[in-house]
Amino acid sequence: MSTATHCPYCALQCAMHVEPGPDGAPAARPAEFPTNRGGLCRKGWTSAELLSSPERITRPLLRTDRTGAFTETDWDTALDHVAAKLADLRAAHGPDAVAVFGSGSLTNEKSYLLGKFARLALGTSQIDYNGRFCMSSAAAAGNRAFGLDRGMGFPLPDVASAEVVLLAGANPAETMPPMMGHLTAPRLIVVDPRRSATAAYALEHGGLHLAPRPGTDAALALGLLHAARTQHLLDEDYICARTTGFEAAWRYAAAFWPEQTEQVTGVPVHRIREAARLLGTAGGAYVLTGRGSEQHATGTDTVSAWINLALALGLPGREGSGYGCITGQGNGQGGREHGQKADQLPGYRRIDDPAARTHVAGVWGVEPEELPGPGRSAYELLDALGTEDGPRAMLLLGSNPAVSAPGTERVRNRLSALELLVTCDFVMSETAAMSDVVLPVAQWAEEEGTMTNLEGRLLRRRAVLSAPAGVRTDLEVLSSLATRLGQPAERFPDRPDAVLAELGRASAGGGADYSGVTPERLEQGEEVFWPAADAAASTPRMFLDAFAHPDGRARFAAVGHRGAAEEPDADYPLYATTGRMMGHYQSGAQTRRIGELAAAEPEAYVEVHPDTGARAGLEEGDWARVVSRRGATLARIRHRADARADTVFLPFHFGGAQAANNLTNPVLDPTSRMPEFKVSAVRLEHADTAPTATPGGG
């Protein structure tokens, strides 16, 4: 027996069949689908292994003393304990004493119900999620430019028809390998300080690799706009008919002569001119951004600078061309639409908009005044935990901030200061291990629901097998906690289809309208793209007639280049940038527990130019201490002769002493509140001792 579903990990959401393997345990194999076209990456192939892993948690775990061991307990005891403690804290300190932290890995149904749970069952404004660390800068810039943010406003296969694709700060050859099948444009331009696998691919296939200094993408985008204009490549008719604000934006670009751009970014003048010419003369072109451009304290303006370039060339809102942000987590798109964000209600509504409050309160059967206002963004929320006026308890689903949040030592201190930390997970992540209560939940292949992939396409997650005895779904946990907190049971349904139907009503009329999305429709084919306002509606391509601003025009943003918050100096002479490798996913909580993946990449490493390593007395394979003003990371030296001598790179998939986030800088973008994961100033030292092994290989 074989069931069609989708990979649990990234936003490409590759289609797969899950069926019993030779040993009887479930195994995944790829399925034909427009996005993955029969491909899976190594993580997808091995994804079913965690379902029957001995490291799986299958009983609620509780402890009353943080320093003590967990004891297994039954669900009633665990839920009663949590509900009583939450109610006490709320009674003593008000509703904002309890926080909720969600995730872009949660299905649409879970993210919707989590937002509702926070606002109604807890009455708290203190909810945010890990998507703030992911694509929030691109979402903010997309909203500013187009009036609505859908990562890609077009189906992914469209990209294959282009003559030129520019990838800014994205490394899909490692982060979404099957996507490479769509990056077949004759000229691929990769913007990355590293010679990433994607950059190397581009060079081997007649493309370009532009390697700016970390944190200088905005200058490069402004320089490309300048070079395009001076080569008379702008689409004047499009600028005139479909946009506003070009002249104000141009004032910033005017200063970025190619020579000036080279000075700031290090990208040679002739490469800047060549890239601008390729983009400006292509029959069809796409500009796609990833976390490399976005995860900066200037991320929103940087993405705006890339969008300005795309608009000036007349790409967005046209067939065969466009701008897109490559969303990251499995449900990174749907998870940002339905209310687990501090300032948001379902359907991309704003929580401070009176009409939005009235609509959603109506669907929820409460008065608008009962809904709290906006809360703190993810990092600000984590940073406030256990402080005088911050939350005293937190419920966490789908994230491992003890590894993935910036400047993790500080975040771990804040988590420790909580009076109650409750984590729903299926493995003992580093954050679960710091909790008072761990609630064991079902995994992807044991539950039903919907996901929205990086294209804005609705997908069906299907149950392949039943969850182990003792495990509940996230929806069941939320529902049973809500009733214990005095909510009527019918207000918190635990069946995914019932939640989806309600989500449809709550999102109706909003930007991300799901009211025409039904399970029956998705069973017939996964060809529904939001907005889908009725049973026949689907929007594969957005903005073909008009952008979502009231005047129908896209807006150029008047943005300049500001650079990174922290530049190298005598004490910390190198840039460190962080990101991903093929074989691990995110904080590694899942993939470090999969035998084949852990064996292939068991430990943290730092990529350095051999000369840079030599200056610090470090040879290939040595353990280095990478030190910043926030802390230090232990990582094994990997020489890369093609690396920039001023920049080192660390993957962030490991925990404890090997966590790259021990050194990252939690300075935030003023608009998106995105932390600057991609730039910190560091130095390299010889590590006296190798790190001791920790559970899960980190």
Ligand X SMILES: Nc1nc2c(c(=O)[nH]1)N[C@H]1C(S)=C(S)[C@@H](COP(=O)(O)OP(=O)(O)OC[C@H]3O[C@@H](n4cnc5c(=O)[nH]c(N)nc54)[C@H](O)[C@@H]3O)O[C@H]1N2
Binding site for ligand SF4 (CB under 6 A): 7, 9-10, 12-14, 36, 40-41, 43-44, 176-178
Closest to ligand X by CB, 217 or 343: 217
Residues with Cβ within 8 Å of 538's Cβ and at least 6 positions away in sequence, in order, are: 516, 527, 528, 529, 530, 532
Please choose which of ligand X, ligand SF4, Mo ion, none residue 400 contacts, taking the beta carbon within 5 to 8 angstroms, the exact cut-off set by kind: ligand X
Binding of residue 580 to ligand X (CB under 6 A): yes
342 near ligand X, judged by CB under 6 A: no
Residue 293 sits in the site that holds ligand X (CB under 6 A): yes
Residue 177's binding partner among ligand SF4, Mo ion, ligand X, none (Cβ under 5 to 8 angstroms by kind) is ligand SF4
Closer to ligand SF4 by CB, 29 or 93: give it: 29
Residue nearest to Mo ion (CB): 328
Closer Cβ to ligand SF4, 43 or 213, answer by number: 43
Phi, psi of 341, rounded to the nearest 5 degrees = -100, 145
Is residue 196 part of the contact set for ligand X (CB under 6 A)?
Answer: yes
44 makes contact, choosing from ligand X, ligand SF4, Mo ion, none, with CB < 5 to 8 Å by partner type, with ligand SF4
Contacts of 464 (CB under 8 A, 6+ apart): 3, 5, 18, 19, 26, 445, 446
Task: For residues 63 and 435, give the distance between their C-alpha atoms in angstroms, rounded to a whole number.
Answer: 8
Report in angstroms how near the CB of residue 652 gets to ligand SF4 at its nearest: 16
Minimum distance from CB of 8 to Mo ion (Å)? 14
Quote the tokens at residue 385: 């935990």
Please choose which of ligand SF4, Mo ion, ligand X, none residue 14 contacts, taking the beta carbon within 5 to 8 angstroms, the exact cut-off set by kind: ligand SF4
26 belongs to the binding site for ligand X (CB under 6 A): no
Footprint (CB under 6 A) of ligand X, residues 95-114: 103-106
Which of 327, 17, 39 lies closest to 178, judged by CA? 39
Alpha carbons 683 and 568: distance in angstroms, whole number: 9
CB 138 within 8 A of CB 297: no
**512 touches 349 (CB < 8 A):** no
Residue 577 binds which of ligand X, Mo ion, ligand SF4, none (CB < 5-8 A, kind-dependent): ligand X
Hey, which residues does 10 pair with through a beta bridge?
329
Position 321 contacts ligand X (CB under 6 A): no
Provide the sign of the torsion angle of the four alpha carbons 480, 362, 136, 443, taken in this order: positive
Cβ 39 to ligand SF4, closest distance in Å? Answer: 7
Span near ligand X by CB under 6 A; candidates 350-358, 418-426, 550-558, 610-618: 418-426
Site size for ligand X (CB under 6 A): 64
Query: Least distance (Å) from ligand X to the CB of residue 443?
Result: 7
- Based on the shown chain and the rule CB under 6 A, indicate whether residue 174 belongs to the binding site for ligand X: yes
Closest CA relative to residue 286, chosen from 187, 387, 381, 394: 187
Residue 510 binding partner per list Mo ion, ligand SF4, ligand X, none, with a CB distance cut-off of 5 to 8 Å that depends on partner kind = none
Residue 58: both structure tokens together? 């299958």
**What residues does 570 pair with on adjacent strands?**
none
CA distance 223 to 252: 10
The answer to whether residue 168 forms part of the interface with ligand X (CB under 6 A) is: yes
CB 223 within 8 A of CB 199: no
**Distance, C-alpha 299 to centroid of its chain:** 14
Euclidean distance between CA atoms 375 and 419, whole angstroms: 20
Q: What sections of 117-235 are H helices per DSSP?
A: 136-146, 172-175, 197-204, 217-230
Binding site for ligand X (CB under 6 A): 10, 103-106, 130, 133-134, 168-172, 174-176, 191-194, 196, 212, 214-215, 217, 290-293, 295, 328-329, 397-401, 403-404, 424-427, 429, 441, 474, 577-580, 582, 584-587, 589-590, 649, 652, 660-661, 664, 677-678
